[in-house]
Amino acid sequence: MKLIEKKEEHQQVLRPPRTALVIFGATGDLTTRKLIPALCNLAQDGYLPQDFIVIGASRQKLSDQEFRDRVFKGVKEFSRRPITDQVWERFSKNVYYQAVGFSALEDFINLRTRLEELGQQCAESLNYLYYLATSPEFFSAIATHLKQAGLVEPVQSTKRTTSIVIEKPFGRDLESARALNHDLTQSFDERQIFRIDHYLGKETVQNILVFRFANGIFEPLWNHKYIDHIQISVAETVGVGSRAGYFDQTGILRDIVQNHVLQVLSLLCIEPPISLDADSIRDEKTKVLKCIRRYTREEARANSVRAQYSAGHIDAKAVPAYKDEKGVAKGSSADTFVALKLAIDNWRWSGVPIYVRAGKRLPKRISEITVFFKQVPDTLFRGLEGCELEQNVLAIQIQPEEGISLKVSSKPPGPRMRVSPVVMEFNYGNSYGVPSPEAYERLLLDAMKGDATLFTRNDEIEEAWDLLAPIFDLWENFSKDSESAIVHDYQAGSWGPKAAADLLRVQGHRWRRL
Amino acid sequence: MLPSTLPGFTRTTLENLDSTLASFFNDFENSDRTVKKSFGANFIMLLPTRADIKAQSSLIETLTRLHPGRFFVLYRDDDLSDFEVNVRASCNLVGPKEALCSELIALGFAREQIGALASVLRARFTPAVKTELYIHRLEDTNFDVIRVLTGLSERAYVDSRLSGLEKVKRLLPFVEQVVDIEWMRLAIWRNEIKRGLERRSFMNLFAGLSEIEVMLEVDTKGHFPGAAALMAGWILNQFQLEISSLSGGAFECIAPDGRIVRLILSISSHSQESTLVGILLRFRHVQGQSKIVPFLKATRSNQLETTVHLDSGDARSTRELDDESIEGVFTRYFSIGESVKSYDLALHSALELENLRRGYTR
């Protein structure tokens, strides 16, 4: 078979069925920066379905061409690689716009008419995929109106598949997450709901499963007997920017830890699933989340640190304190930095501290999972100068570069016995001839195919809210307890408050330098 | 007027620093060599002025060869209005067609940029490797910068011959480990003394020691030279003696068993350098016996001669002196590994001796 035929066959296997993608909130940042560029890259690689249309839906009144022009700017600026004119021309012909008021049923009925008209141009009926790139307050209304307008088929329908993709945040706490899910499941079956966490679309995160279960050398060590502790760090250099209004009500524990961090943690710590299908993996992830210790108030106090950045410098640029950013309420106690110590109470992980830190206005943008292995018995090298042993450390870097490194000890060349750490590295960019796709490319493709493996299930979301509830309660209900109101300070451009370092020092640990 | 580019470097800005560095390695793609960038260490060098980059070029080349990684060569220039950034790659052949390269980032800053300096460095440190700091000269005027840099570093290299022991001591609380280049220069003396003293015939003598006479011969300007002070402090520590007071020209020290041991310390000086040229150790036992042990001096031929006076006769040995330049010391440190154990204790003892000599009471 010729190479070109092989490629076409390969694309055929990966290509989803015919789909109409309706993006609610299409005039927002997410569509311009992520969704349309991702779709264009899929188009360029030949992975979009044979018949594929995009309808941007938002309250604004725009023509189809105005919408195309708007998103084209985003493609030029934010696509991970240049999109050829040919690809854009072919793709943009199937990009449309429909003004939809999210609380107006009539607009949804008009949307249905539009979809049916556009569908007539296709050989077979299109599946409908609804992407909610809106503020969360509109999720319930949109889902309800889709149902009322006849735009939701039952899950067993043979006519077409209808699904809905929703972006985080999934609620604000356990109660609101349950309420949201209740509203969604009034209109959609759980199997039709795709809750997106874009971290799960990153290659390195997907690689965790392969790394753990396709290599014989790591799984025997992946437990409390050999692992000393785990650190997960999500660092951003940016401040709140234009999201101050949203962020001030949310904080970073909700914005990053509840979803991205806990998703990554659960993948890192799961038992081997019985298969690679979506529910088998998600079952195991949920079990990990269930096993994470629910803290008492005192434990929450001892194992959590929240902080807010003060004025400082990010790479020589002076930046203001959080409280001085535009849109931040006076006296705000929103956390721009959080550090936690978690514990997983099961046989595999008992006694292994899991340290998490996430923060804005940190010195560099980097997200990393680091596994610290236990120190060997220091009998052979004890007392020999230049032979101070360091732990083996496995680092899985999620962004900006994607890769894995392993720190081991070795002897430097020379006449004396000395021990020095060296790092063995695997970097996606250097190892494979193809660049990694953007997370949204993989996730959109999977949503169109109906593969929910990389999407979160409702019970995972509820467990994540449940385990963090004591910390939210401590931080937000402090009227009786002034100690819990402590919001530490850290200078923008530093790695966080001293209290975060103290959290680890209790067990003789320290944060890895990033 | 824009500052001129440093010789051998490429002028750039903070925003373009990474891409400029990357371009050096992209250029290598067309060569027939395999070129690798080292991620072994973050190494900060604090030099007094821009001109010192050229003056210390041999040291920079030595360090990039022996301890490759990402180098930040910092200098202060209060006439600058913003950071001055120059970069280059420093590559050394590690095989017939294989080169290992360090990245050099020369960063000039003025007083106004000191507050932002840490943010610039943190944003560019290679993750998860140690950060080390070389301070060419400790001055009162640069301690503000030093405080910032020690906060980022696990180890600091200084030369007490240039900076003075008092200033080195000021540094100790701010960094996990201080490596004194002068201390490493003295390793050869310490090793010879230990070798000389680790003889069975001396064990009974040391058990009942009542007096140690230490004569240090140095080329010095007349003040208590660092090298001599460190050796005296180290000798005290080896005998586990704690300084008590200065009385009648001798230091009174307390041994672990409560004995008072007198330390007679004399320093003879010659010329302008602060180089140790000779040590004479004489011991007196409680019963009044005395022995003259390792008399060490540097001969004109640059050799270290050790003479140990034993009952059976003199034992002599000779060895070549080490290269005492900073480059030579670093070469030994990174290639062979020099001992830096017991430095902190020796430094404290040395400064105590000096303070007592100056009349400061405990």
Instruction: Give the C-alpha separation, A421 to A512, whole Å.
Output: 14
Distance from CA of B127 to the nearest CA of A (A): 4
Does B125 contact A at CB distance below 8 Å? yes
A7-24: pLDDT as tens digits: 565 556 678 889 999 999
In this prediction, the answer to ipTM > 0.85 reads no
In angstroms, what CA-CA distances link A384 with A94, B20, B338? 70, 42, 12
The better pLDDT of the pair B228, B83 is held by B83
Instruction: Give the C-alpha separation, A274 to A212, whole Å.
Output: 14
CB contact under 8 A, A385 and B340: yes
A385, A415, A514 member nearest B339 (Cβ): A385
For A134-137, the CB contacts below 8 A with 24+ separation are A134/A24, A134/A25, A134/A28, A134/A102, A135/A25, A135/A246, A136/A169, A136/A170, A136/A171, A136/A180
Is A130 in contact with A165 (CB distance < 8 Å)? yes
pLDDT at B205 over 50: yes
In angstroms, what CA-CA distances link A398 with A196, A233, A276? 17, 10, 22
Residue of A nearest to B148 (CA): A494
Place of tokens 């902080």: A307
Does B115 contact A at CB distance below 8 Å? yes
B115, B125, B129 member nearest A313 (Cβ): B115
Tell me what pLDDT residue A377 has: 86
The active-site residue out of A145, A198, A260, A509 is A260
Tell me what pLDDT residue A44 has: 93
pLDDT at B156 over 50: yes
User: What SS3 state is found at B258?
Assistant: coil
- In chain B, residues with a C-beta closer than 8 Å to the C-beta of A366 are 127
Does this model's pTM top 0.90? My answer is no
Does B12 contact A at CB distance below 8 Å? no
User: Average per-residue pLDDT in chain A?
Assistant: 91
Model confidence at A1, in pLDDT bands (50, 70, 90)? Answer: very low
* Minimum mean pLDDT range among A60-74, B89-103, B166-180: B89-103
Is A219 in contact with A474 (CB distance < 8 Å)? no
DSSP state of A500: H
Instruction: Give the C-alpha separation, A236 to B123, whole Å.
Output: 11
Interface probe, candidates A315, A319, A510, chain B, greatest B C-beta count within 10 A = A315
In angstroms, what CA-CA distances link A463 with A352, B113, B218? 20, 47, 73
Distance from CA of B341 to the nearest CA of A (A): 8
Model confidence at B1, in pLDDT bands (50, 70, 90)? Answer: very low
Give the number of beta-carbon pairs within 8 Å between A and B: 66
Tell me what pLDDT residue A13 has: 60
Tell me what pLDDT residue B106 has: 96
How much is the average pLDDT of B244-263? 85
Tell me what pLDDT residue A429 has: 66
B268-287: pLDDT as tens digits: 665 555 567 677 777 776 66
CB contact under 8 A, A316 and B120: yes
Question: Which stretches of chain A sit within 8 Å of chain B by CB?
Answer: 237, 312-318, 363-364, 366, 368, 385-386, 393, 395, 405, 407, 413-416, 418, 423, 425, 493-495, 512-514
Max Cα-Cα span within chain A: 83
Distance from CA of A337 to the nearest CA of B (A): 17
Task: Tell me how crowded residue A231 is: count the other CB atoms within 10 A of its CB.
Answer: 22
Interface probe, candidates B44, B113, B122, chain A, greatest A C-beta count within 10 A = B122
Distance from CA of B181 to the nearest CA of A (A): 16
Please state, for a pLDDT cut of 90, what percent of chain B lies above it: 40
Residue of B nearest to A315 (CA): B120
- In chain B, residues with a C-beta closer than 8 Å to the C-beta of A413 are 335
CB contact under 8 A, B123 and A314: yes
- In chain B, residues with a C-beta closer than 8 Å to the C-beta of A415 are 336
Is A149 in contact with A111 (CB distance < 8 Å)? yes
How much is the average pLDDT of B55-78? 94
For A213-217, the CB contacts below 8 A with 24+ separation are A213/A272
- In chain A, residues with a C-beta closer than 8 Å to the C-beta of B115 are 313
B39, B83, B119 member nearest A423 (Cβ): B39
B125-137: pLDDT as tens digits: 998 889 999 999 9
Distance from CA of B352 to the nearest CA of A (A): 27
Please state, for a pLDDT cut of 70, what percent of chain A lies above it: 94
Tell me if the bond preceding A435 is cis, omega within 30° of 0. no
B300-332: pLDDT as tens digits: 356 788 887 766 778 888 888 888 899 999 998
Taking 3-state DSSP, the helix, strand and coil percentages for chain B, each rounded to the nearest 5, stand at 35, 35, 30
pLDDT at B6 over 80: no
CA nearest B165: which of B236, B93, B246, B228?
B228
pLDDT at A269 over 70: yes
Model confidence at B299, in pLDDT bands (50, 70, 90)? Answer: very low
From its phi and psi, is residue A481 left (phi > 0), alpha (psi between -120 and 50) or beta?
Answer: beta
Does B128 contact A at CB distance below 8 Å? yes
Beta bridge partners of A196: A167, A455
A364-375: pLDDT as tens digits: 999 999 999 999
pLDDT at A415 over 70: yes
DSSP state of A386: T
- In chain B, residues with a C-beta closer than 8 Å to the C-beta of A407 are 128
Distance from CA of A357 to the nearest CA of B (A): 16
Tell me what pLDDT residue A129 has: 97
Q: Which amino acid is residue A288, in one-letter code? A: V
Model confidence at B200, in pLDDT bands (50, 70, 90)? Answer: low
Model confidence at A425, in pLDDT bands (50, 70, 90)? Answer: confident
pLDDT at A253 over 50: yes
* Catalytic-residue membership of A10: no
* Minimum mean pLDDT range among A382-396, A472-486, B65-79: A472-486
CB contact under 8 A, A414 and B337: yes
Residues 258-297 in B contacting A (C-alpha not used; CB under 8 Å): none
| CB-based burial, B217-247: b 16+ in 10 Å, e otherwise | bbbbeeebbbbbbbbbbbbbbebebebeebe
CB contact under 8 A, B119 and A364: no
User: Average per-residue pLDDT in chain B?
Assistant: 83
In angstroms, what CA-CA distances link A48 with A13, A94, A448? 11, 12, 9
- In chain A, residues with a C-beta closer than 8 Å to the C-beta of B39 are 423, 425
How much is the average pLDDT of B16-22? 92
Tell me what pLDDT residue B31 has: 64
Tell me what pLDDT residue B222 has: 44
CB contact under 8 A, B128 and A316: no
Model confidence at A479, in pLDDT bands (50, 70, 90)? Answer: low
Tell me what pLDDT residue A472 has: 94
What would the two tokens of residue A170 be? 């999934």
The better pLDDT of the pair A484, A357 is held by A357
What would the two tokens of residue A119 be? 């569908």
Tell me what pLDDT residue B100 has: 87
Helix ranges restricted to H, A20-62: 29-30, 36-44
Tell me what pLDDT residue A86 has: 93
pLDDT at B43 over 90: yes
Distance from CA of B120 to the nearest CA of A (A): 4
Does B340 contact A at CB distance below 8 Å? yes
CB contact under 8 A, A315 and B123: yes
Interface probe, candidates B70, B94, B119, chain A, greatest A C-beta count within 10 A = B119
The gap between the terminal CA atoms of chain A, to the nearest Å, is 48
Is B206 in contact with B283 (CB distance < 8 Å)? yes
* Minimum mean pLDDT range among A305-314, A350-359, B194-203: B194-203
CB contact under 8 A, B122 and A363: yes
Does B299 contact A at CB distance below 8 Å? no
pLDDT at B2 over 50: no
The tally of CA atoms less than 13 A away on the side-chain side of residue A473 is: 15
Tell me what pLDDT residue B79 has: 94
